[in-house]
Structure 1
């Protein structure tokens, strides 16, 4: 199936809960709230304190689970995962959580991120006789922590984590314990919530809102939180890195607007991006329209700063799912219109500012701009609430290769001509970083700047373990 959208894809959402007898149901809802982070597979593992049961499959959360499957997942402890996989890895065996029996019991793991030294670690483990059941980098963590030399399972986990490089937020569970982990750089978000006496972990706080949990705090970069019948315990086994590396693209595109990510409301950050975009790239126009849904908040900011009224110029069809069938060429050519359609009467004869969050390959953007032009727009001024994407991501986001990124091989003027717009303006990297609260050096901007905070071998595919 060909993508009808050339936006990058997040790899995963994770969720965990300890202390509620309907843990699996809460996990289902937590994954449902985070479906935008992964649409290809979903899974839940639960425990009654004595054994771990699980259910997982390919599909959306609502497709994988029903009342009977959730009722079968008994227990007060559960973790869940929904995944976006890369080409060649859409296999049921790669659905998470991964569940393994080993000498210290049964463990289940869910992972959001990308381990950049995964191929090296896997080769070393296989050379010593390890047998892998999946092609994901997540399984490597279990093999590393299962060494018999460790005194207990948490020591094994700490030993495994110290060998990992790259980005990882993890939820793990044994029969009687829930654990959350965030890498020392803090690439991917992970937060702690509480609902009555139960602790909750989630990639995004929108999951807390749905189930009525109260946000407590983020899991700190480099922190392991251990949750069991004795409460919550925190340990920090890593030396403090010289810098953090919060993924700036979580704020630009990936996270839901109603989530708190890296300590800030995503909607408010995106409005500030839009305001700065209007300052950097003003234009005389009649209306501002967003590319829904990810451009909505930035368009509000652009309209507010510029004084140009906002209009609904494109309508999104929310019923186009990942399973949309495109059997014939003429259907594939219409795929963009099936998802987004222009409101002709609102656009006809108007000078229009179109606000989007990113242009990746450019093919989808070109068709969208053509649709707006065919609806009678007099002028189209495209404004992008982030800098040009020139570099792939190796830390858990499925960006295309550098050769596929339009900004890596074309100038801004060449992109303007390719898209068929009257003008184009990207937010500067300085403007982007000025819209967030933390120290600028503590954000990962590698997809824009090429400044990669964690080393990796550029000659090794970022999905080398997917074989």
Structure 2
């Protein structure tokens, strides 16, 4: 509904816990912001009656609460002490195809294996063609299925070696959660694009896209899964209390390229990703925004008896707005943070009549202004990003109705100028507002109807993140700079001839 890049996916896994399915359900609930199209859980246990390992699975379109609305699913169907779960927003593969709902589960010569994937495989098209030439029949159009086929076609004897063999053949951005009959395997690509963290609850190890999934089940954060690490949790882990690690070599000799947009927008502020708290980093983005665009340089019509008010576009820009206000106050520039926009958190599907302006009505369904905060004031709107600019325009029009003296729009990231090939879903380059107006900030400001528009610089973004997180690992800023850390001439694209 909002004019933002779309989240990709959330993954969760746990090993050797008597309530594995239930904890995975709660983990997915905490990760719901990362994908709202579908959800699924796979568990593993030995069925003594059948004398074999089995992997029950339940998945469907919809939110976690809807997919698992019957508690019997978690208590009676999804048996076992190990589980993986997945929330999906599609970046490759049709969102309408039920075969694309993850996790994927197969049975092959060495038992059962299931996988949940966050990211994009850069060489998916080439791998699919190679497998198709060998006569492989595909059940889905998702790049994730390719990993299972690579495992089953491996000539290696041991299952873990088959998995490593498959991982050696894929390129791109991926965090994977894999479940075999007796192992939980967590994988992060060598560039470390996507976050993945290791935790522990009741003596059992768990892995998740973000640490907010640990908080909801009372798990302790242990550490991040390292870029290129293949973390194996099995019976040996129970005896030694230490997972086994294998490591993948980086492609093209590139260095770590953690997605900086995780800090800008995607992750929850109460999460810890890339070894740092998201809230801390976002406040620093607001701080650097204040250094580059102090409020005294922004506002021109401030009445003597009323301080400028700073409002955020809830919820992802809340902490950046607080950081902006705090830094301005620290250097002696008067302003105050106010709740000027109220977000309706209970928005489901909205039905728009033919005579209504669809986008305008959707924005008004989700947001409303607080007239008393805005009227007669100099208003600074802080948002984390602008993509097409359409939602920003409707928000500004809504705020104008409350008769502010002036409206300025500040963005705690640089202009988005290029698509992401590593697992985020952006519009095409010519749909981005920065490109439509040849990156002319004044023309962009006129388009969204504000007195001025200001962005955090690319340098300011990187410096703000590195000041808050002093890790030596690098960041991917390709959507802001067009500097792609790994080659992008690999033709990542939506599959044709979708099965619906």
1:7 maps to 2:4: yes
Report 1:359-438 matches (<5 A).
Answer: 359-410=386-437, 411-436=440-465, 437-438=469-470
Question: 1:330: how far off?
Answer: 1.3
SS of equivalent residue, structure 1 residue 28: helix
Give the stretch that moved more between structures: 148-157 or 379-388.
148-157
Q: 1:369 to 1:40 in 2, by over 3 A?
A: same
Give the stretch that moved more between structures: 103-112 or 403-412.
403-412
For 2:265 and 2:188, the matched residues in 1 are separated by 21
For 1:239 and 1:461, the matched residues in 2 are separated by 19
8 Å contact kept, 1:40–1:90? no
Question: 1:376: how far off?
Answer: 1.3
Which of these residues, 95, 103, 107, is aligned with residue 97 of structure 1?
103
Question: 1:92: how far off?
Answer: 1.5
Equivalent residue number for residue 83 of structure 1:
88
8 Å contact kept, 1:183–1:222? yes
Structure 1: 5+ residue stretches without partners = none
Equivalent residue number for residue 493 of structure 2:
462
For 1:371 and 1:274, the matched residues in 2 are separated by 24
Deviations 1:434-461 (A, max 9, x none): 1122568710000000011111326x35
SS of equivalent residue, structure 1 residue 10: coil
Which of these residues, 282, 286, 301, is aligned with residue 270 of structure 1?
282
For 2:248 and 2:35, the matched residues in 1 are separated by 30
TM-score (norm 1): 0.96
For 1:144 and 1:442, the matched residues in 2 are separated by 30
8 Å contact kept, 2:122–2:492? no
For 2:344 and 2:161, the matched residues in 1 are separated by 49
Which of these residues, 284, 289, 302, is aligned with residue 324 of structure 2?
302
Deviations 1:201-222 (A, max 9, x none): 0000000000000000000000
SS of equivalent residue, structure 2 residue 403: coil
1:36 maps to 2:33: yes
1:27 maps to 2:13: no
Deviations 1:149-184 (A, max 9, x none): 111111111111111111000000012110000000
Report 1:38-437 matches (<5 A).
Answer: 38-49=35-46, 50-65=53-68, 66-71=70-75, 72-86=77-91, 88-231=94-237, 232-238=243-249, 241-284=253-296, 285=299, 286-307=308-329, 308-321=335-348, 323-330=349-356, 332=358, 333-410=360-437, 411-436=440-465, 437=469
Question: 1:466: how far off?
Answer: 7.5
Q: 1:465 to 1:251 in 2, by over 3 A?
A: farther
Count of aligned residue pairs for this structure pair: 462
SS of equivalent residue, structure 1 residue 397: coil
8 Å contact kept, 2:30–2:212? yes
Question: 1:90: how far off?
Answer: 2.6
Question: 1:101: how far off?
Answer: 1.0
Deviations 1:222-271 (A, max 9, x none): 00011112212111142584410100000000000000010110011000
